[in-house]
A and B are shown apart, each in its own frame.
Chain A
Amino acid sequence: MIRVVLPYHLRTLTGVDGEVLLEVESPATLGAVLDALETCHPVLRGTIRNSITLQRRPFVRFFACKEDLSHDPPDAALPDAVAAGREPFLIIGAIAGG
């Protein structure tokens, strides 16, 4: 299972308290995880990436295993530790704004 940690406001939208657990077929790519997340929680469509272009929203970032994956292409495989569920995939609201 892939473990996804949502930022506070998206946890509120989804009603999720804690991590989201997703079944994603191998290879677990960034795009596949986001697809699975939006299928599991349709309310998230448009909040993390543009629902048409699938471009990441500017103030949303992706981290895992102490690495910034925000600029990785959608077909990039996630780290093995994330795919194996040992480490979470973090979706972060960038530190910006007031």
Chain B
Amino acid sequence: MSQIRVLVGTRKGAFILTSDGKRERWNISDLHFAGWEIYHLKGSPAEPDRLFASQTSGWFGQMIQRSDDGGETWKPVGNEFNYDGVPGTHQWYDGTQHPWEFKRIWHLEPSPGDPDTVYAGAEDAALFKTTDGAQTWHELPGLRGAKGHLWQPGAGGMGLHTIVLDPNRPERIFVAISAAGVFRTDDAGQTWRPVNRGLKSPYEIPDPDAEVGHCVHRIAIHPSRPQVLFMQKHWDVMRSDDGGESWREISGNLPTDFGFPIDVHANEPETIYVVPIKSDSEHFPPEGKLRVYRSRAGGNEWEALTNGLPQRDCYVNVLRDAMAVDSLDPCGVYFGTTGGQVYASADSGDTWNPIVRDLPAVLSVEVQTFP
């Protein structure tokens, strides 16, 4: 029988939710790292019982924790994230230049093939890498060379929040940064360039051809077709069919195209999911109705998925790293809310049920499938 493990990072710790392949009955773990913010935790595809967690605190800074037994036990590993050389400066809110300062790790992306290799996305934005199981970290500084002096923080900070590893080309990596945009390397992180052509941010960036400065909230791919990328931007849902060289809008009939997460069905590369949020000023679902929107056409044509989700008086948000899919058939879809609910659908989004309702605000959701 298949097994599913859902890794949930919250404002006050982490939880591990497990079920069999029916995904009807769930076991909720005890709270891990009580009182610490767990921005993200993710398992190694190469060694699934190896998990990595980003544990942070406004008081005590950054810790990285590693488990080698599926989250039963954890041990602190390397937490030194030093920018390469002189960190330099980036654009600040008032238009001046501001020094790069490490604050926290937003996202951990383990290598698909090597359990000792993990990428880490930092605030202030930078990409770090370990090749020794997270004992030591080094920056890939070429990224900040891609017009880093023009990057600027969004309201939530200048975080590198998305890391997409091309499964067919290990030397190709995409990252997304708020508020700088999407960047791509084709030489394993030595050199990078912005790939934001087609993004429009008229209210934030007067220059319609600006290469950087876009507030990209999330990008996602299907592993069978990594040249096709989907994006939830600050406003606009976007798509690229050429590895990020150009983007076009696919918001179509969405009630609002503001939102944070976007994800792709595990078995249908043209089926994608977003959670529309009313606006950048009102971070809650339109009309108080929590609706996931699904497109089976790769965008533009969207249907609301509401069965099992609250359709009144709902004012939660769903953050950018808080949606994931499993790889069973039918595909399971999962998301967590700032209200502490984790919802699951075992039928590609047709129906939803809460796995758990009263956790701290959910920051991240990842899923491991054990076929």
Contacts and interface: CB of A to CB of B under 8 A. Distances in A.
A23 to B, nearest CB: 24
A96 B35 CA distance: 14
B76 A93 contact: no
B76 A46 contact: no
Contacts of A97: 58-59
Interface in B24-58: 34-36, 57-58
B137 to A, nearest CB: 12
Contact of B80 (A9, A12, A45): A45
B66 to A, nearest CB: 13
A42 to B, nearest CB: 9
B58 A46 contact: no
A18 B203 CA distance: 55
A9 B35 contact: yes
**For chain B, what secondary structure do more than half of its interface residues adopt (helix, strand, loop), or is it mixed?**
loop
A1 B53 CA distance: 36
A7 B36 CA distance: 13
Nearest to B79: A46
Contacts of A60: 59-60
Contact of A51 (B36, B58, B80): B80
Interface in A5-29: 7-10, 12-13
Contacts of B338: none
Contact of A59 (B36, B59, B76): B59
Contacts of B36: 9
B82 A52 contact: yes
Question: Contact residue range for chain A?
Answer: 20 to 34
Contacts of B364: none
Interface string A33-77: 000000000010111100110000101100000000000000000
Given A9-B35, A9-B36, A93 B59 contact: yes
A48 B57 CA distance: 11
A10 B82 contact: no
B173 interface: no
A10 B60 contact: yes
A67 B35 CA distance: 28
Given A57-B61, A96-B59, 10 more contacts: A8-B35, A9-B60, A12-B34, A13-B63, A13-B76, A46-B61, A47-B61, A52-B82, A93-B60, A96-B58
